[in-house]
Amino acid sequence: LADVSTPALVLALPAFERNCARLASLLSRSPAVHVRPHAKAHKSASLAARQLSQLREHGARVSGVCAQTIAEAEAMAEAGTTNNPIDVLLSNQTVGAAKVARLAALSADPRVVLSACFDDATNAAEANKAVGDVGGKLAAVVEADVGQARCGTPTPEVAASVARAIVDEMSHLTFKGVQCYHGGIQHVRTVADRGAAAGASHERARAVVDALAAAGVPTDEYVTGGGSGTFAFEQATGLYTEVQPGSYFFGDCDYGANEYAADEACDQSMWVMTTVISAHPSNDWVVVDAGAKAVSTDCGPPQVYHDLQAEPASSSDSQLTYTCAGDEHGIVRSSGASDAKLPRLGDTLYLRPGHVDPTTNLHTYWFLERDGIIEDVCEVNARGPGS
């Protein structure tokens, strides 16, 4: 690890593996619920393969992976083979002729078992034609808005209408079920408040399932949703058949600020390793080589540590603070604690990101570490804005 050039994206494997084992254990409380980790967190086909293997090793019922863009879905194909294809759910809308054509091409890729979300019948019809033209296979999932006011059908009746159209009019699509995901409640801080918010979204999800059943399109066999902050609530409903945690396997400051049940919090496994490149006794700061191009600050600044820690202290306990100072520079200061000492020139520091996904997107490789040794290097082959 000491030989890796900084700034670098590091995955502490012992913590990552504990997170996989913990999630499998949590899901064992609801044996019918599958897990489909979200690849937008790690954006790496090779890391996806390792992750799914770990989960299966610990007894989890694994469906496959989620991808949030067509580019991510295409990248995940590299984790599959003709004899052992990877199951990918494109958990977002795919709109525009060029992207629909790519979706169709991926549906014909023997390395992939593909499903995709739709909240509009016209869009689904375009995909149906494109898939038919290439002889592909695509499962259609109707996405319903369950409170976030983002993508998804606005009412249960519209969800039922889109599902009915897919079943009746689109011979090249196979209707699979519904996605009922609420990203806006993942960071509601207390367990009680987050549970209440999840409960409200679940009521809307039940209304969607009931509306489809009334329209003659039963969907109780596939209801997917639930992120890193709420999956424990979804798995307990008896309604959801699949959950989609992504950041849970890696950890960040934003999720770390949530309250969790005693056995549900994840260990921190994702770090940005950085080096002190300027330090002078007359200054009350030092400069590190990780700036805006190495760590995301959209959910707040990273926390700073001298070494890799599975259970970082809260931000209020940290003795060092970080401020972005440009594309390639970060400023690290003492928090003011009497025993806090600034790092020296050449010292290595580890940043706990504020937000997993956009931080991953800034890097080309994951460096997989165990006991200070690089065990593997995984390409971030799905990085980019999604185009």
Condensed to tens digits (0 to 9), the pLDDT of residues 41-57 reads 999 999 999 999 999 99
Residue 136: pLDDT over 90: yes
Q: What are the pLDDT digits (tens) for 20-40?
A: 999 999 999 999 999 999 999
367, two tokens: 């460096």
Residue 339: pLDDT over 80: no
Residue 318: pLDDT over 80: no
Q: Exposed, middle or buried, 270 (CB in 10 Å: 0-12/13-18/19+)? A: buried
The whole-number pLDDT of residue 1 equals 95
Is the model more confident about 340 or about 199? 199
Q: What are the pLDDT digits (tens) for 222-251?
A: 999 999 999 999 999 999 999 999 999 999
The whole-number pLDDT of residue 315 equals 58
The whole-number pLDDT of residue 219 equals 86
Q: What are the pLDDT digits (tens) for 61-73?
A: 999 999 999 999 9
CA–CA separation, 150 vs 69, rounded Å? 15
Q: How confident is the model at residue 337 (pLDDT cuts 50, 70, 90)?
A: low
The whole-number pLDDT of residue 311 equals 78
The whole-number pLDDT of residue 220 equals 81
For the segment 360-373, the average pLDDT, to the nearest whole number, is 98
The whole-number pLDDT of residue 218 equals 86
The whole-number pLDDT of residue 46 equals 98
The whole-number pLDDT of residue 261 equals 92
As a whole number, the mean pLDDT across the chain is 96
For the segment 73-99, the average pLDDT, to the nearest whole number, is 98
Q: How confident is the model at residue 316 (pLDDT cuts 50, 70, 90)?
A: low
Q: How confident is the model at residue 319 (pLDDT cuts 50, 70, 90)?
A: confident
Residue 314: pLDDT over 90: no
CA–CA separation, 218 vs 202, rounded Å? 17
